[in-house]
Amino acid sequence: MAMRPLSVLLPFLTVLLSYAAMGEASGPVISCCLKTSNTQVRLQLLQSYQFQNGAMCHGLNAVSFITMKGVTICSDPSTPWARKAMSYLQKKHKSQSRNHVSLHDPKKLALTMHENLSFTDKLDSH
């Protein structure tokens, strides 16, 4: 009778250990650009960017831009378009973080609501 519980437990443990091993092997995924392109999109279609250090990724220094649709564009960070795009995204990020309102700070909430009155008036008129 002792063999029966072991025969049920052994396949379960095998599956459990294989999932644990896959979890360790997968770890954090690092996405590297293998080459840069001359692709340029409208700046308004960009969502974010990150630098790629050549020492970590195939010896290629690059900047990867993520579009609103999740497409990655790998660019040479020294090109005029890439510099303009990075500057645009930095300004966009700063304005978004400046407009972030904490619901725990009534003074800031009131000030932000006052500053945005003209915006809400425009919405109401449409």
Tell me, yes or no, if the pTM score tops 0.85: no
- Per-domain boundaries in the chain: 32-125
For residues 32 and 60, give the distance between their C-alpha atoms in angstroms, rounded to a whole number: 9
Give CA torsion, residues 49, 53, 56, 60, to 10 deg: 100
The closest alpha carbon to 95, from 103, 87, 105, belongs to 87
Per-residue pLDDT tens over the stretch 3-31: 566 666 556 555 544 544 444 445 555 67
For residues 31 and 53, give the distance between their C-alpha atoms in angstroms, rounded to a whole number: 11
State residue 83's pLDDT score. 97
The closest alpha carbon to 116, from 102, 99, 94, belongs to 99
Query: Is the predicted pLDDT of residue 108 greater than 80, yes or no?
Result: no
Query: Is the predicted pLDDT of residue 106 greater than 80, yes or no?
Result: no
State residue 6's pLDDT score. 61
At the second CATH level, the architecture of 32-125 is Beta Barrel (2.40)
Per-residue pLDDT tens over the stretch 43-76: 999 999 999 988 888 889 999 999 999 999 999 9
The identity of residue 9, as a single letter, is: L
